[in-house]
Structure formats: structure tokens, C-alpha cells
Amino acid sequence: MTTHSDIFEQPRVARRLLETQRESIAETARFIREQDYNHVLIVARGTSDNAGRYAKYLWGSMNGLLISLAAPSLFTTYHMPPNLANTLVVGISQSGQSPDIVAVLKEAKAQGCPVVVITNAPDSPLAEQADRVVNVCAGEEKAVAATKTYDAQIMAVAMLSAAMREDAEMQAALEKVPGWIEQVLEKDKEIARLAQRYTYMETCAVVSRGYTYGSAFEWALKMKELAYVVADPYSTADFLHGPIAVVEKGFPVMVIAPSGVMYEDLKDLTRKLHDETRADVLAISDNPELADSATSFIQTPAGVPEWLSPVVSIVPAQIFAYYLTCTKGLNAEAPRGLKKVTETY
């Protein structure tokens, strides 16, 4: 059960990051502060792109950075790279192998940009292009679908944010992450039973907003990769701007709604879906009141700050995707058409 084992390794990975990479991340944060830039370009693909979405919200809110996600095809297919003047470029990749991501960083270096890489492979071609490398220390990920490496990436993003701010309160909250993840893992059997309800699900929407926007994309991706469910991710705002029209009685909608600034918005949508359209709503939240507006509910630990909620709330989503795959009679260790390292150009 390598996928399941990788999921359960995540508390150890978080502790390893905190214990071994704190000073390295602090040095990277100092390097970033010393650079002359007014824009951050994040370069990633797949699961790592979802880590980039988290960085876009977290570094934008907590660190005041203007952030965009790169279009690698401009560099590799069109051969028309944009002007990267005054840009800090951050590459995020589990393997550090994908040629298109490496190509963007090579062009960034040629244009004189500072480059930071967040990876599980500090000796990779991607890391060779970096001025600073953040090693997420996830160890070998045996499963094809990324789980522990994703959570390690967003944990590293969070640690960098705290280090850039030199914020003791944020640092203290980070120390609690491994324990919070362990609390989620205690719900393993509960989530396994819950997944059986969705055995015949073929399509669904996954909705969140703010810091957990990237988590909606990552949950949807895991259900596509493993359970072959056509899962479309949205922010609540985008969902209300048209896609909600597909929702009818019994249509599955997955919602990630942590306490915080975005909670009321997500709660209102959940109530609307449940009461007006009779959708089948599966909600993940630390706030138990949301259970009243959901068909199914997974409660996450109380006290997790909203900015850190993606690191914790993605774990029950991963467990759900794994057991949904099993209950469908599919092999989570051999998703069709996929391999561990995907090289795109």
C-alpha cells in the first residue's frame, strides 16, 4: 500500500523539514530579501503547480509579493520568452527533471534573474539552475501519485513565508503541523467508510477559495489520477459565475472550508447547494457547524490558522481519493497512463 504509506509518512516529513531545514530556509529568505525585484514568477507543473497556487496566496498576503504562474510553452514551444526584468523566479518540482521547467529557469538565469528552487531532488537538473535550493526532505515517494511531496512543498512554502517575515508567531504555529496531521490520520477508517458512499461517482466539482484554492485543484487532481473521476476545481466566485448551473439533485460537490476570512463565503455556498439544489455535499472543515449543511463531513483539527490550513486539510482529501480508488476496485499503485516522473517540453 505505497500510496497509503506515503500519506501516513507526512507527519515525519513535516518534522524532518522543521528539524533539518530551518536554517537553510532562513538563509534562502535572507537571499530573497536582498534581491532587487518587484515580481515573483513561479514555474511548475501538475501537483507542483498547485503548491504554486498556495504560494501565490500566502506570499501575496503575508509577504506582500506580486506573484504569477509561468506559461512554460512560451519558453519551449513558441521560443518567445517574456522579459523577466526585476523578477524573482521560483521553480517548484518534485523530481526536478521536467525539461520545460528547467528551460524556464535557464532563460531566467540568462536574463540575470535570481532563482530559487523548491524540490525533493537537490541534485537535479532544476536545482543546478538555482541560486538557492530548498530541499523538501520528503524522501523517496514510492507511489506514482504525489502526496507527501505535495504536502512537503507547501510546508516549505509556509516556512519560507514565516522566515521572510521573521515572524515568531508563524514559526510557533508551524511547529504544531505534525501533530495536526497526526490527528487527521486518526480518521483513516472513518474516511474509508465515507468513501464507499461515492463508489459510483463519475464526475464532481471541488470548491474552495483563498489559501485553500490550490487544495481544491490538488484534491481534484488526485481523484482524476487515482479514481478516474472527472473532478473540476473552482473558487467559490468562479463556481457561481456559471458552473453552478450543472448542479442538480445528488450532484457531488466537494468543499474545503477552513475557519478564517473565507469561511462565511464557503459556508453560504454549501448551504445554497444543500438546501436549494439538493446537491451531495462533502465538506472538509474544522468548524463542526458546517456538518449541518453537508451530506457528508470530515472534521479537521481546531486551532489551525487559516494560512496553514492547506497543509492539514489536504490530508483527508488524499485519504478520501485513495479509498475512493480502492472502493471502485482500481489499483492506486498503477494509475493508467502515468509514471512517477513526467517530462514535458
Q: In which region does residue 137 sit, left (phi positive, over 0), alpha (psi from -120 to 50) or beta (all else)?
A: left
Indicate the angle between helix axes 47-63 and 148-165, nearest 10 degrees: 20
Residue linked to cell 512554460: 72
Contacts 24+ apart (CB under 8 A), 268-277: 269/207, 269/236, 269/239, 269/240, 270/294, 273/244, 273/247, 277/244, 277/247, 277/248, 277/249, 277/251
Spell out the residues 6+ positions from residue 253 whose beta carbon is closer than 8 angstroms to its own: 204, 205, 206, 207, 247, 273, 279, 280, 281, 282
Chain centroid offset of residue 85 CA: 28
Query: Are 105 and 43 contacting, i.e. CB atoms less than 8 angstroms apart?
Result: yes
Bridge partners, residue 297, by sequence: 283
Query: Coil, strand, or helix at residue 222?
Result: helix
Q: Cell triple for residue 225?
A: 489520477
Is 340 a known active-site residue?
Answer: yes
- For 82-85, the CB contacts below 8 A with 24+ separation are 83/111, 84/41, 84/108, 84/111, 84/113, 85/111
Work out whether the CA dihedral 17, 21, 25, 26 comes out positive or negative.
positive
Residue of 327, 322, 19, 319 lying closest to 184 (CA atoms): 319
* Given 109, 187, 272, 340, the catalytic residue: 340
Each as own residue / partner, the long-range contacts of residues 333-338 (CB below 8 Å, 24 or more positions apart, any chain) are 333/2, 333/3, 333/143, 333/144, 334/144, 335/144, 335/145, 335/225, 335/226, 336/228, 338/144, 338/145, 338/225
Which residues does the annotation mark as catalytic?
Answer: 340
